[in-house]
Amino acid sequence: MDQASETGMPGQEVLERFNVQSAVPLGGRLNVHWQVASGHERLVLRRWSSATAREAIDYEVRLLARVAALGWPVAPVVAGPLEVQGETWSLHPFLPGDPPAGDGGDAERRERGRLLARLHADLAKLDGIGQRAGWRRCEEILGDETLDRVLAEQERNRPEEVRIVRWHLERARDRAAGLRLRARPGIVVHGDFTPWNLRFQDGKLTGILDFELAHWDHRVGDFALSWRGRYDEVVYGYDEVSPLEPEEWELLTPMWWAGLIELACRHLAEGTRDDGWIVNKLLVRSPLMGRDAAAYP
């Protein structure tokens, strides 16, 4: 049995292939990371999630290289990806610094929105990146008739969950109608521009982590997990640097709901359940939701 499967640590073969030592766990949600040493240099060893297709891995590898070339402090691959005993591994620079301390409140959120707008200004310069495998834009999700079939099939089994998801699906479709979303431009978005994925040192940005959700989308798609229908200051900060168009303000809510609805229907179709996070987030309300800011009936 491989050492990694026994201890949860990279096996010796992995360390030797990358010529590194002293693996210290750093954690991770999908992909798992360890701080390692190569001489006196600190690096990060990543084990890619087994659920991530090689096509999606290659997409992220290319994207990180392009973003690093723009001058942003990200961690492009310096060795790999390599297949070792059925798992995919890669080596990256170590990004120093710490996330914002505690709950930075509205000031942190507004500044994060400004930072996201500046990042988007550079991401908009990238061409030829395309869409990440397995991802869809808002209009593709909302137009998918499979969602209706899943909701109908599961209505008897999970009636309250289906009722909530269907109500939000219908409202999202209504709001998106007339926005001509397929004709709107897109950019590559980070996908999880949250405090825990940022690093600062002496007041300077030193790292943007976790591009595992990066994909091609409407630029307001990057508000999904940074706004969450709750942290309005992120959107206001962004608008200070890069003003949103009226259609983009209108798109905020269906954009956020569409991703949640897709996840909810996936669980329903597979007969699985999350911990209630999806439905709870669908029920969150913000003044930025306009006519949908009222509580769910």
Which is nearest to 296 in space by CA: 39, 54, 282? 282
Could you give the angle at which helices 146-154 and 159-176 cross, rounded to 10 degrees? 160
Q: How far apart are alpha carbons 15 and 20 in whole angstroms?
A: 5
Q: In this model, does residue 1 exceed pLDDT 60?
A: no
Q: How far, CA to CA in Å, does 247 sit from each of 21, 24, 46, 186, 243?
A: 52, 47, 39, 14, 12
Residue appearing with tokens 């949860």? 8
In this prediction, residues 183-196 reach a mean pLDDT of: 95
Superfamily for domain range 3-93:
Phosphorylase Kinase; domain 1 (3.30.200.20)
Mean pLDDT value across residues 140-161 = 97
Region 283-297: what's the mean pLDDT?
Answer: 92
Confidence of residue 5 (pLDDT cuts 50, 70, 90): very low
Q: Which of 20-29, 141-150, 181-190, 250-259 has the lowest mean pLDDT?
A: 20-29
Tens digit of pLDDT for each residue in 83-100? Answer: 998 999 999 999 999 998
Burial of 20 (0-12, 13-18, 19+ CB in 10 A): buried
The 8 Å CB, 24+ separation contacts for 126-129 are 126/63, 126/66, 126/67, 126/70, 126/187, 126/188, 129/59, 129/62, 129/63, 129/66, 129/188, 129/216
Calculated CA dihedral for residues 128, 133, 136, 141, nearest 10 degrees: 160
105-292 domain in CATH 3.40.50.1010?
Answer: no
Structure confidence at residue 6 (pLDDT): 41
* pLDDT at residue 2, rounded to an integer: 43
Answer yes or no: is pLDDT of 9 > 90.
no
pLDDT value of residue 76? 98
pLDDT at position 43, please? 97
Q: Residue 276: which pLDDT band, with cuts at 50, 70 and 90?
A: very high
Domain ranges of the chain: 3-93, 105-292
Could you read off the pLDDT of 14-44 as tens digits, one per residue? Answer: 999 999 998 899 988 889 999 999 999 999 9
Taking only the tens place, the pLDDT of each residue in 163-172 is 999 999 999 9
Handedness of CA 131, 132, 137, 142 (dihedral sign): positive
Each residue of 103-112: pLDDT tens digit? 779 999 999 9
Share the mean pLDDT of the chain.
Answer: 94
The torsion of the CA quartet 78, 83, 86, 92, rounded to 10 degrees, works out to 0
Residue-wise pLDDT for 44-69, tens only, equals 999 999 988 999 999 999 999 999 99
Choose between 27 and 152: higher pLDDT. Answer: 152
pLDDT of residue 295: 86
